[in-house]
Amino acid sequence: MMAATWATIWISAAGIAIGFALGVPLAVAAQRWWARLYISFFRGVPLLVQLLLAYYALPFLGIDLPGIVAAVGTLGLCCAAYMAEILRGGFALVPRGGLEAARLLGLTPTQTLLRIRLPIAAQAMRPALVNEAILIIKASSLISVVGILELTRSAQALASSTFEPLPAYALCGAIYLIINLSLSFAARARPA
């Protein structure tokens, strides 16, 4: 169960990191048709179906992904759609004047994005971003369908091998709770 806990943590962390990294350009391009299409797809289709598509359907198109790649990739792509929506709201809060100052001082659009727009937006939307990260950690229980032994799957295995579901699932729930509480605590403790 220890190993499965680490699997949940690092797979979620990777998914969240990918989600954030892809969410930024998606948020910048949020008005474009392809960004809208992307966001509607990943927000509109259940994560479970996305996982099944990535792992069981893509091979029919000649794309054969290892389970771990399908799991991290799908979590990340799905997370990106939500991160993009959150960051788009954050970008709208960045005062125009600060961007004009940056432009006059000679910062490039990319520098302005990374040094000014993104920090201000992420700061303003921190509770929503943390919330999304927590949702991803919980949703990572679904990746057992692509054959990854993560926390929930290992609790199921423990419950059926010991015939004692109560301690197995209680422990599993407690571990999720500790992970998520630590995350929100860490996010709150960081100075503004």
Partner 1 sequence: MSALSVRGLHRSVGATQILRGIDLDVTAGEAIGIIGPSGSGKSSLLRCIAGLDPIAAGSVAVEGRATRPGDGAVGMVFQQFNLWPHLTARQNVALALRLVRKLPVREADARAEAALAQVGLAALAARKPAALSGGQQQRVAIARTLAMEPRVLLFDEPTAALDPELTTEVLDVIRALAAGGTTMLVVSHEMGFVAGLATRVVFLDHGQVVQSGPPAEIFSQRAEPRIQAFLQTYLSRVAWVQA
Summarize as ranges the residues that interact with partner 1 (CB under 8 A): 95, 97-98, 100-108, 111, 115-116, 119-120, 123
Q: How far is the CB of 155 from partner 1 (least distance, A)?
A: 41
* Residue whose CB is less far from partner 1, 11 or 27: 27
Q: In whole angstroms, what is the distance from residue 24 CA to residue 81 CA? A: 10
Q: In the complex with partner 1, which residue's Cβ is closer, 117 or 153?
A: 117
Could you count the other beta carbons within 10 Å of the beta carbon of residue 18? 20
Q: Which two tokens stand for residue 58?
A: 């893509």
Degrees (nearest 5) of the Cα angle 172, 178, 182? 155
Q: What is the smallest separation between the CB atom of 136 and partner 1, expressed in angstroms?
A: 25
Name the residue nearer to partner 1 (CB basis): 100 or 164: 100
| CB of 126 vs partner 1, minimal distance in Å | 12
CB 112 within 8 A of CB 99: yes
Q: Work out whether the CA dihedral 100, 102, 108, 111 comes out positive or negative.
A: negative
H/E run at residue 78: helix 67-92
Closer by beta carbon to partner 1, 111 or else 162: 111
Strands (E), the chain: none
Q: Which one, 120 or 135, has the nearer CB to partner 1?
A: 120
- Amino acid, single-letter form, for residue 163: F
Q: First vs last Cα of the chain: how many Å apart?
A: 36
User: Whole-number minimum distance, CB 93 to partner 1, in Å?
Assistant: 11
At which residue do the structure tokens 């000649």 appear?
62
Residue 40 or 111 with smaller CB distance to partner 1? 111
Rounded to a whole number of angstroms, the minimum distance from the CB of residue 107 to partner 1 is 6
In the complex, least distance from residue 150 CB atom to partner 1, rounded to whole angstroms: 36
